[in-house]
Amino acid sequence: MEKIQLHDKVFRHFISNEELEKAIDQVAARINEDYADSPTPPVFLCVLNGAIMFTAAMMKRVNFPAKVVSIKMSSYTGTKSTGTVLNVMGLTGSVKGERVIIFEDVVDTGNTIVALKEMLLDKGAADVRICTMLFKPDVYSKDEKIDYVGKSIPNDFIVGYGLDYDELGRNLKDIYVLDK
């Protein structure tokens, strides 16, 4: 589909599923290399709801055991970031003493990811790495290193492959961008 409508907005095709899958393969290869000799299984932290598809895709590609926990955070209303990070649902498991890889759908300003990493370290995580499917370097303003990036994109509002516009569009296998 070249264009789709969600609520009152029209989105045009932006990134194909094939391109996303290749990017995810490359990130998985790096993670497999980095964790090949891990003495303990790392914890994959899925940031709900947007990173569900990305986390699931990564879980199918790693060749080592991993634990999975989730958290739900929010900083968006409609198509705009509020600038405030809300912890909507707490961690579904302990991270004390664990090596954690945060799986995020998209990192833009970095507010959510920095708050989340600080929280995990406060809860006793031994190590925290950040993995994002999509990264918006033009608006990222934090010093925190993003360890694994699937694909860098411009600062446009996107939906699909887990990303939504007011809860619609997550199920799309491709990524669509707001058609201005």
What is the structure's pLDDT at 68? 95
CATH code of the domain covering residue 45:
3.40.50.2020
Q: How far is 108 from 112, CA to CA, in rounded Å?
A: 9
Say if 46 falls within a structural domain.
yes
pTM score over 0.85? yes
Residue 153 has pLDDT above 80, yes or no: yes
In terms of residue numbers, what domain contains 97?
Answer: 17-73+86-153
pLDDT tens sequence across 95-122:
999 999 999 999 999 988 998 999 999 9
Residue 65 has pLDDT above 60, yes or no: yes
What is the structure's pLDDT at 157? 95
Between 85 and 94, the more confident residue is 94
CA angle, 170 as apex, 167 and 175 as ends, to 5°?
125
Our count of domains for the chain comes to 1
Say if 149 falls within a structural domain.
yes
Q: How far is 122 from 130, CA to CA, in rounded Å?
A: 16
Say if 80 falls within a structural domain.
no
Contacts of 88-91 spanning 24+ positions with Cβ under 8 A: 89/48, 91/45, 91/123
Q: Where are the alpha helices (DSSP H) in the chain?
A: 17-35, 52-61, 111-122
What is the structure's pLDDT at 4? 97
Residues labelled as active-site residues? 108
